[in-house]
Amino acid sequence: MKSWLSIAVKRIPLWLFLLAPFFLFPSPTKALALLGLPLLWVLQKRVRGYFVPRTPFDWPILLLLGMVLVSLYATFSISFSLPKLTGLLFHIAIFYAVVETVQTRRGLNRSLLLYFALGLVVVGLSLLGIDWSTAKIPLLTGVTSRLPVLIQGLPGAEAGIHRNQAAGSLLWFFPLQVALLGTWWAGRGRDEPVLRYPLGLAAVFGLTFLTFVL
C-alpha cells in the first residue's frame, strides 16, 4: 500500500495536468473533481510528512489565500469569482509541485523541457486564437489580417484572444529564456538538454520575437 502511495505522490505533476481543465474552467458539474487537489496534498502528507514543501514564499501565499476569503465575502457572485479562485489554487499547487520536482538535476532538466513545451503551446494558441484586427505594427497588418481566428468561445475571450493577453502570457517565459541564452552564449550551458535541441532554441527566439511584436 505504501509503495502505491509513493508512486502516486511522485506523479503529482501528472495528476495536476489531468486536473487542469477542472480548475481552469470550473463548473458545477465538475465540482467533485476540485477535491482532487486537497486529496493530493493529504497523500503527500502521509508519504513525505508534509502537505507542501517549505519555501520562503509560504507566508505571502498564506496571506494571499486569506485575502481570497475576504474577496469571496465581498463578491457580488460566487459563480463569477469561482474561476479566479480555482485558478489561484491550481497555480499555487503548480508552484509547490515545481519546488518539489527541481530538487534533483533530473527534475530540473525535465522542468525546463516542459517549460519550453508549454511556451510552444502558448505560441500555437496565440497564432491560432489572437484577434489580429487591432495589430499595432502597420507593416505586419497585411500578414496578420490573413491569419484566421480558429480558437474562439473561450471564457472571457469569446471573440478571440486579445493580443495584450497573449503578450502578458509570453512574458512569463521571457526572463528564463534570457538567462538560459546568456548561459549558453557564455559557453557554460551547452550541456543543458534543452539547449541541445534546435527546437528549444527555436522556442526561445520565437517566443522572444513574438513577445516584442505583440
pLDDT in tens, 108-152: 878 877 887 777 777 777 777 676 665 566 666 666 666 666 565
Q: For 130-197, where are the alpha helices, taking DSSP H only?
A: 141-144, 163-171, 174-185, 193-196
Q: How many domains does the chain have?
A: 2
Q: What is the mean pLDDT of residues 10-20?
A: 86
If asked whether residues 33 and 130 sit together in one domain, one would say no
If asked whether residues 111 and 197 sit together in one domain, one would say yes
If asked whether residues 62 and 37 sit together in one domain, one would say yes
pLDDT in tens, 56-73: 999 999 999 888 888 888
C-alpha 23 chain-centroid distance: 12
Question: Under DSSP, is residue 162 helix (H, G, I), strand (E, B) or coil?
Answer: coil
If asked whether residues 136 and 50 sit together in one domain, one would say no
In the listed set 101, 131, 156, which residue is the last one of a domain according to the structure? 101
Q: What is the mean pLDDT of residues 176-192?
A: 65
Higher pLDDT, 113 or 15: 15
If asked whether residues 110 and 209 sit together in one domain, one would say yes
Q: Is the pLDDT of residue 10 over 90?
A: no
Separation between Cα atoms, residue 199 and residue 59, nearest integer Å? 38
If asked whether residues 84 and 113 sit together in one domain, one would say no
Q: Give me the domain span that covers residue 154.
A: 105-214
If asked whether residues 79 and 168 sit together in one domain, one would say no
If asked whether residues 71 and 169 sit together in one domain, one would say no
Question: Under DSSP, is residue 161 helix (H, G, I), strand (E, B) or coil?
Answer: strand
If asked whether residues 109 and 214 sit together in one domain, one would say yes
Mean pLDDT, the chain, whole residue set: 76
Asked if 26 and 86 count as a contact pair (C-beta separation under 8 A), the reply is yes
Instruction: Kindly provide the b/e burial profile for residues 48-82, where b requires at least 16 CB atoms within 10 angstroms of the residue's own CB.
Output: eeeebeeeeeeeeeeeeeeeeeeeeeeeeeeeeeb
